[in-house]
Chain A
Amino acid sequence: MPAYSGPTLALSLSIREVEAGYDAVRALHGVSLDIAQGETVVLLGTNGNGKSTLLKCVMGIVRPTSGSVALDLDGVAHDLTRLSTEEIVSLGVAMVPEGRRLFPRLTVEENLLLGAFRPQARADIRKNLAFCYETFKVLKERRRQLAGLMSGGQQQMLAIARALMSSPRLLLVDEPSVGLSPLLVSNTISMIKKLKDLYGLTVLMAEQNFHQAIRIADRGYIIVHGEIVFVGDVAALEQNELVKNYYLGTG
């Protein structure tokens, strides 16, 4: 294999000892987490354990009180705790927020175009729009419909498609299973896997649904009361006692 002399085209996210919370309530206690290029990492935990807070720290929506969130992009390190959310999106990080959070009074197409608001994303807007419509046929059929009038499953597809409009390299997905029927959860998870392969994405997904999440995950972290209590690959996760205690109810 010929040696590659240019900058290494790689992405990695490294979260170190992050403490964060809301006023007096501390939601994260020294959380560390790593993701390498091309990985699908799942953050497992039940409600109120800090999954969303951690993702929000990466997006710059919640500011950690201590610790670091560093995105290494092709050999250049970016301190995400010092960047605004728009700047983080510009770097190629996109989030599918919990509960979809679409713009209900705008059309499907307007929602998608808003995903490409940043100048960098506008260059590829036509290509990305065409790609989204090709991948999600239902969105093309309904592109003039108001987003708020679609079914839950379609809304989830739109939320994912909107995130893809910014040409992200790192995709954060916050509880894609919320409010969806088991079949739709399964479809959504499969879709994330498919998109990851198509786009060459790196994925960090927060999820409660253990069995669905580990179908596509390479590695997993278990977060309990704001602390990471377990890290391991899928095989280790399945074996782990904690998983049995917290998720399978057989402990």
Chain B
Amino acid sequence: MKSTVFWGALATIFAAGLALTGVVQNEYYYNALYLILQGTLMAVAWNVLGGFTGYVNFGSAGFFALGAYTTVALNKALGLPLPLLILVAGVVGGLVGVGLGYLTLRLKGVYFAIATLAMSIVIETLVVNWSYVGGAKGSYMLTPDTHLWFDSYIQMLFVVMLLLTLAAVAISRMLNSSRLGRGLSAIRDDEVAAECAGVPTLRLKLVSTSVMGAMMGVAGAPFPYFVTFVDPLSAFNLFIAVNAIAMPMIGGTAHWIGPVIGALLLGTTQEIVKVTISSEMNVLIVGVMLVAFITLAPQGIVGLARKLRRGRPK
């Protein structure tokens, strides 16, 4: 995709989002769109490490919750405004990402995945035992009165999330098509060979884990305002981690557009199922779609499209 087309598309989508808030009043739609965008942001973040670099992370919920609880703690302590909370959550997520990178340097494949899951559980245990942010009981967040020129707070949150997601997509695209991104792909394909070629594998892995952590922290930061009540169960929800993996897998992990396509498809399906059938069916839908895509299109939708374009059945 040409750069001008890409930036034009981002600007158009953002303008369309803004325009929507002037037309549609029904708060449900913003709720649904917010969740789809949150999923997209998480999927894009997961893909930086999982797709580009080849390190599968099961601990996405931990990073997401870090962002959410950064908001809870700083809101209570200092009463910071949302943009600052998002920024700090990004920094916290990024730093923990670097920590994860350092701690798990020698771990590969399934061992790395287990370590990320363990890290998420450790963070959850810390939060459960931290009474300042509500501990296991959770804590309420008051929705601020100010919501700029928007009709409601949820409209503003939707626009904020749209902006964050578009920014993440732009960063992911830059990474994917840069020299740095080529280095990450080299690590994914053969880490020893990458090192032999002079690729600074350690530094690139740390860039990858920190970008992933920062994006996930950012994704979690507005969450307390969105749900108005946060407890460890909702912030560390396994479903968040599962979605973050399933969406890029379904869309295709090798290209930046993959997680976006996967998130829009899976996220929209989930929201439709939620209102038409039941919210419990969600989990089943993810499972079925994941199994279907892994068997029928192991390279995701992007991989399938490439194969069809080449016109060469495998």
A33 interfacial by beta-carbon distance below 8 Å: no
Interchain CB contact under 8 A, A115 and B197: yes
Interface contact B182-A85, CB-CB below 8 Å: no
Interface centre among B185, B188, B198, B200 (most CB of A within 10 A): B198
- Give B211 Cβ to nearest chain A Cβ, in Å: 19
Q: How far is the CA of A19 from the CA of B183 in the complex (A)?
A: 32
Of A106, A114, A163, most B-chain CB atoms within 10 Å: A114
Interface string of B168-183 (1 = CB under 8 A from A): 0000000000010011
Taking a contact as CB atoms under 8 Å apart, the answer to whether B196 and A117 are in contact is no
Decide if A104 touches B189 in the complex (CB within 8 Å).
yes
A97 to B194, CA, bound (A): 11
Interface presence of B297 (CB below 8 A): no
The chain A residue sitting closest to B180, CB to CB, is A117
Residue of B nearest to A115 (CB): B197
Report the minimum CB–CB distance from B119 to chain A (whole Å): 26
- Which of B185, B188, B190, B195 interacts with A85 by CB under 8 Å? B195
Contact, CB under 8 Å: A106 / B185: yes
Q: Is B192 in contact with chain A by the CB < 8 A criterion?
A: yes
Residues in chain B near residue A118, CB distance under 8 A: 198
- A10 interfacial contact with B, CB 8 Å: no
Please state if B192 and A114 are interface contacts (CB–CB under 8 Å): no
A61-B196, A85-B195, A102-B190 in contact; A110/B185 too (CB < 8 A)?
A: yes
Interchain CB contact under 8 A, A114 and B182:
yes
CB-based contact A121/B198 at 8 Å: yes
> Smallest CB–CB gap between A159 and chain B, Å?
9
- How distant is the Cα of A135 from the Cα of B271 in the complex, in angstroms? 57
Known A90-B198, A103-B193, A117-B183; 4 more pairs at CB < 8 Å = A94-B198, A101-B192, A102-B193, A114-B199
Q: Could you list 10 examples of A-B contacts with CB < 8 Å?
A: A85-B195, A89-B197, A94-B196, A97-B196, A103-B190, A103-B194, A105-B185, A114-B186, A117-B186, A165-B197
